[in-house]
Amino acid sequence: MMDDTEFPFKAIDKLMFSPRPQPLPASLRPVYRIALITIILMINCRGNTATLFKLQFFNWLLKSSSLQNSIEERLTHQTIFTLELIHLDPMVNLALNYAFADHLIFITSNSMSNPKYKLTDKGHKFANLILQDKQSILAREREFLERIGQRISEVKLRNELL
């Protein structure tokens, strides 16, 4: 037989739960992705223009330092990419929609099956503000993107990964 000392919650008539707001990690915030997209377009894309595939590739690359090291090593040795998977992130698409709505980017291609995204003047100003801030939360990402530069082209990605 169980007495009241073994199960202390017996005296409680009901439990009440109140939802509490939880902070959203910076990497899941749309403004973080918008900032990444603008600096990727500024630093890593010829003509500040890229396809969704290239933006998704760089977004995926920025998630892991081991991936970054692997890509940097492969670029140094001029070898092909031998990556099995690229994880496509729906947050990139959402960030592109917001960036487009805020006139940071525009779509340059007439084909909606393979649109290209390009920085606007407002997007250039936004990216420059991020790049000028050396204490930015994007400092690590910016340093990596600057080391890579424009050595990963759309053609190279398509030929070696698709």
Indicate the domain borders of the chain.
25-161
Percent of the chain with pLDDT over 90: 38
pTM: 0.79
Tell me the C-alpha distance between 77 and 84, whole Å.
Answer: 19
Distances (CA, A) of 56 to 34, 90, 157: 12, 9, 11
Percent of the chain with pLDDT over 70: 83
Domain 25-161 fold? Arc Repressor Mutant, subunit A (1.10.10)
pLDDT digits (tens, 9 = 90+) for 49-97: 999 999 999 998 888 888 888 888 878 776 556 566 677 888 999 999 9
Tell me the C-alpha distance between 123 and 130, whole Å.
Answer: 11
Tell me the C-alpha distance between 38 and 136, whole Å.
Answer: 14
Query: Quick one: DSSP state of residue 98?
Result: H
Asked whether residue 2 carries a pLDDT value surpassing 60, the answer given is: no
Contact 58, 147 (CB under 8 A): no
